Amino acid sequence: MKEYFRYFKWIYIILAAVAVLTIGLHAGHWGLAKMADYQRTNGSCATEERVFDYAGVLSDKEENKLRKLIAKREKQTGCDIVLVTLDEPLEEYARAIEPNVVSSEFVRVYAERQWEELGFGYDKPDGDGVMLVDNWSREDDGRIHTWFCTTGRAFDAYYTDDIDHLLDNVYRYVEDDPYRAYKTYVNDFYHDMMGWRLFHLNLPGFLPWLIGFVTCVIFMFLNWSSKEGKKTTTATTYVAGRQPDFRVSEDRFLRKTVTKHKIQTSSSGGHGGGHSHGGGGGHHGGGGHSR
């Protein structure tokens, strides 16, 4: 057993280190979430509603579950978290505010204007928070557009890659299970604001494979010199008395006889062949996706 562990000890050490790091991160994240208890200071917001399902893609039960989740995550992040679903073209609305806006940003104009007009913001009107606007109506470009609007602390926290990562996760479920998609939006925002991204670093999906490959290379390098196993038997291991008894035999060369004959050859030839085949007004940030 000791020999076996010696050969594979670096794999065990690396796996143990990864496990300890993962447990530590989860424990720290859990502790921060428990301690976080922001108090809302914006008393001028025009509504207490956070889920505006104008497209009707959620059931009443799902809306209520999202409201409860959002209320919990708002106290943990200190940000308003708003969801809006629409099912209507926004060209006329958006171009009345920004005449030259492109179709992919009609939802941006809507999100920013609604945020400002309703006075969202956890700390003050037009303050800290986010709004996701998902318009199920196809615009003239034939696509459905979604916008993730950030303001205040959320604006400072998000880079382009972070926004893309969040929206990618939402789009993973939105067509088949809108509730799961919007729940993902709320929870991903919570994790991002609690620092679970590790300094804005979104770990790619190939990382576990890369770690496994590097681990194998390190293991092979460290153990290459001992790749041959120890000899456990010798020539006398299974011989009585450990003394070999060789019977001597020999062949004696007496004479040589050589015979010859002619081999007839044919003048016919052959051929082969083959075939091959080829085959507004406030200070907002954010970003959008379309489907």
Q: What is the DSSP string of 125-162?
A: TT-SEEEEEEE-S--TTS--EEEEEEETHHHHH--HHH
- pLDDT of residue 30 exceeding 70: no
| Residue 241 φ/ψ, nearest 5 degrees | 75, 5
* 93 band by pLDDT with thresholds 50, 70 and 90: very high
The pLDDT mean for the chain works out to 78
Cα(158)–Cα(192) distance, rounded to whole angstroms? 8
Question: Which has more confidence, 87 or 282?
Answer: 87
For residue 270, the model assigns a pLDDT of 31
Domain assignment present for residue 245? The answer is no
Number of domains in the chain: 1
Domain assignment present for residue 272? The answer is no
* 246 band by pLDDT with thresholds 50, 70 and 90: low
**Which residues have CB under 8 Å from 208's CB, separation 6+?**
none
Beta bridge partners of 151: 129, 284
Sheet holding 284-290, edge to edge: 51-53, 80-86, 129-135, 145-151, 284-290
Cα(252)–Cα(271) distance, rounded to whole angstroms? 49
CATH classification of the domain holding 173: 3.10.310.50
For residue 266, the model assigns a pLDDT of 37
Domain assignment present for residue 125? The answer is yes
Domain assignment present for residue 232? The answer is no
Domain assignment present for residue 119? The answer is yes
- pLDDT of residue 64 exceeding 70: yes
- pLDDT of residue 198 exceeding 50: no
- Residue 156's domain comprises 42-204
Domain assignment present for residue 80? The answer is yes
Domain assignment present for residue 268? The answer is no
Task: Convert the pLDDT of each residue in 139-161 to its tens digit.
Answer: 999 999 999 999 999 999 999 99
* 186 band by pLDDT with thresholds 50, 70 and 90: very high
Confidence (pTM): 0.64
Task: Convert the pLDDT of each residue in 215-225 to its tens digit.
Answer: 666 656 655 55
Domain assignment present for residue 290? The answer is no
Count of other CB atoms within 10 angstroms of residue 247: 4
